[in-house]
């Protein structure tokens, strides 16, 4: 399959014919990757079983994971899902368009693979201008998981998508690097209080400011057999090498990260260290990769997946990563790092 690449440079107004061409591919049942404010998504017509099935084939993704549906605005929602509960309306008013997915009961007219046999579906309105323009042009709901091969770190740049899926999909809309860097926050508003199923760019504290109490789903800390949201299976977002996450602070954190890296080197492994700007010059390893500034969690979220993919390109076999206190945006970051490390998280002092 030939994969066409449309270069938008993040500007939805820059090339309307390209967007119309990409929209036509989606309307015809094809697969198109496109940028959102979180990560790149791999889109297909959410009402077409054949189109949605091709997402799973392209990604090599198990079909028991539900997909998130993207729409351009709230106007068509009632065609696909039931009424928003009051707390869902409050969250939508505050965070849509944006990196928030709401779990709602569906009306049974989406492709069955989208919902993975569940009575609910995740739906959101992205805020990226290219994503919105594409959704407005195609005028259909688009199912779109992250545009990567299943299990690999999610793509935050068009080149990540090209590396994973060239020849497996019909097109890629190149809108530059994404902004948030981790997937959308997923909240089940069919329950009261609402349940946080996946942390993302909207933190738990931000949700509480709008609706008060929020439950944290226990699936965030363990594997689940029947996930209600993408990203709840254990090995997810993972680099090819074996990864450990060390949680601590200051000199003690640096000491333990370096010690664990040295252990890998002694075993003859190709060792990488994932760190932040504050500590980068204190480590020695085959590759030291910076994902952001520890004092600015948003930069770490934005740089995490690119750093993990850089380790893959370099051939890292043993990766030791600095962890973070699971608060605010770092709660979302640590969720992804825990999945990437398959649960290998070491807390200094415990």
> Tokens in use for 213?
């109490």
237 marked as part of a ligand binding site: yes
229 marked as part of a ligand binding site: no
307 marked as part of a ligand binding site: no
Closest CA to 243 of 102, 175, 338: 338
120 marked as part of a ligand binding site: yes
305 marked as part of a ligand binding site: no
144 marked as part of a ligand binding site: yes
124 marked as part of a ligand binding site: yes
- Asked if 288 contacts 273 with a C-beta cutoff of 8 angstroms, the reply is yes
275 marked as part of a ligand binding site: no
Residues found in the chain: 350
Closest CA to 333 of 313, 306, 311, 304: 304
Enclosing H/E stretch for 42 = strand 40-45
Query: In the sheet that 100-105 helps form, which strands lie side by side, from edge to edge?
Result: 4-7, 171-174, 32-35, 40-45, 142-143, 68-70, 120-124, 100-105, 185-188, 195-198, 215-216
Residue 292 — φ and ψ, nearest 5°?
160, -165
Cα gap 54→56, rounded to integer Å: 5
146 marked as part of a ligand binding site: yes
92 marked as part of a ligand binding site: no
Binding-site residue positions for L-threonine: 38, 70, 124, 184
Binding-site residue positions for ATP: 61, 65, 120, 144, 146, 154, 198, 237
Binding-site residue positions: 38, 61, 65, 70, 120, 124, 144, 146, 154, 184, 198, 237
């Amino acid at each position: 399959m030939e994969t066409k690449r449309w270069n938008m440079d993040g500007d939805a107004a820059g090339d309307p014919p390209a967007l119309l061409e990409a929209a036509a591919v989606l309307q015809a049942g094809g697969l198109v990757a496109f940028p959102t404010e979180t990560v790149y998504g791999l889109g297909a017509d959410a009402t077409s079983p054949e189109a949605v099935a091709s997402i799973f084939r392209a990604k090599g993704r198990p079909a028991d994971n539900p997909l998130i549906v993207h729409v351009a605005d709230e106007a068509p929602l009632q065609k696909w899902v039931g009424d928003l509960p009051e707390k869902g309306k409050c969250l939508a008013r505050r965070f849509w368009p944006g990196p928030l997915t709401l779990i709602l009961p569906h009306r049974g007219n989406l492709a069955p693979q989208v919902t993975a046999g569940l009575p609910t579906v995740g739906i959101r309105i992205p805020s990226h201008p290219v994503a919105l323009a594409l959704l407005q042009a195609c005028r259909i709901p688009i199912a779109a998981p992250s545009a990567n091969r299943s299990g690999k770190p999610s793509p935050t740049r068009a080149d990540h998508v090209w590396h994973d899926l060239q020849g497996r999909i019909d097109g890629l809309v190149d809108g530059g690097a994404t902004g948030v860097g981790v997937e959308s926050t997923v909240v089940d508003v069919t329950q009261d209080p609402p349940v946080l199923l996946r942390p993302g760019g909207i933190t738990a504290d931000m949700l509480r400011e709008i609706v008060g109490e929020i439950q944290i789903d226990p699936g965030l800390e363990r594997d689940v057999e029947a996930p209600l949201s993408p990203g709840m299976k254990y090995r997810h977002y993972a680099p090819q090498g074996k990864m450990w996450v060390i949680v601590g602070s200051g000199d003690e954190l640096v000491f333990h990260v370096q010690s664990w890296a040295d252990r890998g080197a002694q075993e003859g492994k190709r060792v990488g260290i994932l760190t932040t700007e504050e500590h980068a010059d204190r480590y020695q390893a085959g590759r030291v990769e910076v994902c952001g500034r520890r004092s600015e969690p948003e930069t770490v979220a934005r740089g995490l997946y690119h750093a993990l993919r850089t380790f893959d390109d370099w051939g890292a076999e043993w990766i030791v990563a600095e962890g973070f206190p699971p608060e605010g945006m770092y709660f979302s970051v640590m969720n992804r790092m825990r999945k990437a490390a398959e649960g290998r998280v070491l807390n200094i002092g415990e």
